[in-house]
Structure 1
Amino acid sequence: MATDSDGANIDLTSVRDAVRRQAQRATSGIDDMAGYLSEQVADESHREVTGPLLAGTGASGVVRHQGRVVAEWGDAAIPEMLFSGTKSVVATVAGVAFDRGLLDPDAQVSRAVDHPLLTRLGIEGITWHHLLQQTSAWHGELWGKPTEVDTQSRREGFERDGAPGSGWAYNDVRVNLLCLALTVLFRRPLPEVLRAEVLEPLGASSSWSWHGYADSVVDIDGTATPVVSGGAHWGGGLWISARDLALLGELYRCRGEWRGRRLLSAEWIDRSWSPCDLNADYGYLWWRNDSQRVQPDAPTSGRCARGNGGRHLLWIDPARDLVIASHWGDEVRDLIAEISAAVPPTSAATPS
């Protein structure tokens, strides 16, 4: 077992070999993002892209071990569309609200925030917990996209009618509803919260940006306030480099504390990574790997944010002090398995 320059028990040769292979597995067709997105939505009536697009530049990523960068591939400083990995960032912003005492997970959203648009959407009975776990069962239309348009839930057979909390279904429109509710709760755009409370304290660059759609604007106290999306299904979402994304992973690996400053409570991280009763592979917009269905051949101690079929991934394994951020890479399953095999557990503890 080779060690790194600080003596950490990690097979750096194997890690770098895995990274070198991953650099050659770039997703194709990403230079034409409009064309690429059109192939992701099966419902012809709702393929229209209404958010901004960012052409992909190729595979890139970062491996961090025990807080230090041990390998990179591609240009890890270039922002890329994160797709549904953005959802875990929405959960992070919700954690800021929780830590401030603004958000009680068990409270009904309609009683916590008051806005005419939310009233019209008919969200009675839906709690923050429901929205964060994707168990709200809400049916409606937001920003011109109906909940029924999300083909993944229908394709996988999760969609069903019922009361909030009666079923789990992965649905972008419902996550956008959560983004709207959080924007009203904070009474300011979510990127401002993310920048001030999370990314700037982490030392992230200023190259990232977070977008919504052309019509995702809401009046708050007389000000037209943009509402971001929880993914890039119709454009928009979070655009962030692998380096900055890995820093977010470090915050979770360190249980919310960064260089002596508490940015997120350990309680919120435990809640985020606790299993949903209706889908044990899911928490608060984070994926769990206890069953190894999310990332086969990878350790059960891993937690991840993932988007676009795993082509965008933030993998966090606290038991190994390991963080991996990957953009526009195919066969990420092999990357995670290979690097995990080269990094022995440093702790017997596993996340919630």
Structure 2
Amino acid sequence: MHEAVRQAERRTTPGIEDIAAFHAAQVADLSHREVLGPLLPGNGASGAVSFRGRIATTWGESTRPEMCFSLTKTVLAVLAGVAFDRGMIPDADTPVADTADLPVRIGPRVTWTHLLQQTSGWAGELWGKPADVDAQSLRDGGSAAYAEPGVEWAYNDVRVNLLALALTVLWRRPLDDVARTELFGPLGFSDTWSWHGYRNSLVVVDGVELPVVSGGAHWGGGLWASAVDLVRLGELILARGSWYGERLVSPEWIDESWRPCPANPDYGFLWWLNDRRTVFPEAPSSGRCARGCGNRHLLWVDPDRELVVVSHWSDSAGSLVRDVSDAITV
């Protein structure tokens, strides 16, 4: 295991010290490249491995927060689960418009499941970014243009930001505050994490203007958190949503989150599923993960091995997970 993490630390993603230039190179939407949220320079590869609820090893500055990019999406899914457990979302297949009064037109057929599985087909605009300019959708085989809800899977930051907006309206308070009180606080996160939106991502709820966080970092922002803190989130999922006797999210929601999407069997509720060994061919099929920026940020959870792996800014995430998994006896 120790050789695996040494290799991960050596394979630091180049160019992350100049995060503005690095970020610009990742965004292919030439007509909408303006960054609207803050950026955090990278500080080298870091990470942590937890086995059976205990941290086995760390590397790099594992307590330093890093931009999580699309790993943020999975945190949105967990917060949606907390809302579901409280009855705020009666059922994942409930139309979003029936439970949240949004300031944008979403249509009566788009459900929470559609937003969580990235199959909403929504073609609107948020914070000056139209859904159909998200090039990631095109690279992954989606159209980014309007599609019937539930028919087409497309990895799309604008549509994920719609989920963040809907959850903000549903909770009636900023999601970073919800995360602090309902999730990260009980988990004992350090005070170094933060969650950012865009300078113009605002919504009025009950006459009060609230900031809306972003669900990724396509145009900046998103969750910034350390590897050691994120390990705790992975351990919560392995513990079926309970943390030292306190239920933070239900096992039912975790099971639903890991149910393969009909339009993409490698995807659940903003979780990647390795059942078919297509997400990480070299890694065990029992793994589920949150990932961002081309696997440079990873939260890997393997229930069969009672294993959590978190990696920031390493270009060898797949090899890392494989080698650490091989070191664990099932």
Q: TM-score scaled by structure 1?
A: 0.92
- The answer to whether the aligner puts 1:124 opposite 2:122 as a matched pair is no
- The answer to whether the aligner puts 1:265 opposite 2:263 as a matched pair is no
Q: 1:311 aligns with which of 277, 291, 296?
A: 296
Quote the residue 1:18 is aligned against.
Answer: 4
Distance 1:79 1:191 in 2: 15
Q: Deviations over 1:257-290 (max 9, x none)?
A: 1111111100000011110011110000000000
Residue 86 of structure 1 aligns to a residue whose secondary structure is helix
- The answer to whether the aligner puts 1:156 opposite 2:143 as a matched pair is no
Distance 2:123 2:43 in 1: 36
Distance 2:55 2:140 in 1: 37
Distance 1:166 1:248 in 2: 31
Quote the residue 2:96 is aligned against.
Answer: 109
Residue 214 of structure 1 aligns to a residue whose secondary structure is strand
Quote the residue 2:77 is aligned against.
Answer: 91
User: What amino acid is the match of 2:299?
Assistant: L
Deviation of residue 181 (structure 1)?
0.4
Residue 304 of structure 2 aligns to a residue whose secondary structure is helix
Residue 57 of structure 2 aligns to a residue whose secondary structure is strand
Task: Indicate the structure (1 or 2) with the bigger Cα radius of gyration.
Answer: 1
Q: TM-score scaled by structure 2?
A: 0.98
Distance 1:148 1:315 in 2: 30
Q: Deviations over 1:157-215 (max 9, x none)?
A: 22264311111111100000000000000000011111111111111101100000010
Deviation of residue 252 (structure 1)?
0.4
User: What amino acid is the match of 2:253?
Assistant: W
Instruction: Tell whether the 8 Å contact from 2:120 to 2:147 is kept in structure 1 after alignment.
Output: no
Alignment of 1:178-327 (within 5 A): 178-327=163-312
Residue 209 of structure 2 aligns to a residue whose secondary structure is strand
Distance 1:161 1:219 in 2: 27
Residue 304 of structure 1 aligns to a residue whose secondary structure is strand
Deviation of residue 137 (structure 1)?
0.5
Distance 1:286 1:253 in 2: 14
Q: Deviations over 1:89-120 (max 9, x none)?
A: 000110110010001211111111124x13xx
Residue 325 of structure 1 aligns to a residue whose secondary structure is strand
Distance 2:202 2:253 in 1: 28
Gaps of 5+ in 1: 1-14, 346-352
Gaps of 5+ in 2: none
Quote the residue 1:12 is aligned against.
Answer: none
Distance 1:253 1:311 in 2: 22
- The answer to whether the aligner puts 1:64 opposite 2:50 as a matched pair is yes
The size of the alignment, in residue pairs, is 328
User: What amino acid is the match of 1:108?
Assistant: P
Distance 2:315 2:173 in 1: 37
- The answer to whether the aligner puts 1:145 opposite 2:129 as a matched pair is yes
Deviation of residue 122 (structure 1)?
3.4
Residue 212 of structure 1 aligns to a residue whose secondary structure is strand
Q: 1:80 aligns with which of 61, 66, 72?
A: 66
What is the percentage of aligned positions where both structures have the same residue? 58
User: What value does the CA root-mean-square deviation take over the aligned residues?
Assistant: 0.9
Residue 20 of structure 2 aligns to a residue whose secondary structure is helix
Instruction: Tell whether the 8 Å contact from 2:77 to 2:269 is kept in structure 1 after alignment.
Output: yes
Distance 1:282 1:180 in 2: 22
Residue 182 of structure 2 aligns to a residue whose secondary structure is helix
Q: Deviations over 1:123-161 (max 9, x none)?
A: 321000100001100101101111111112112322264
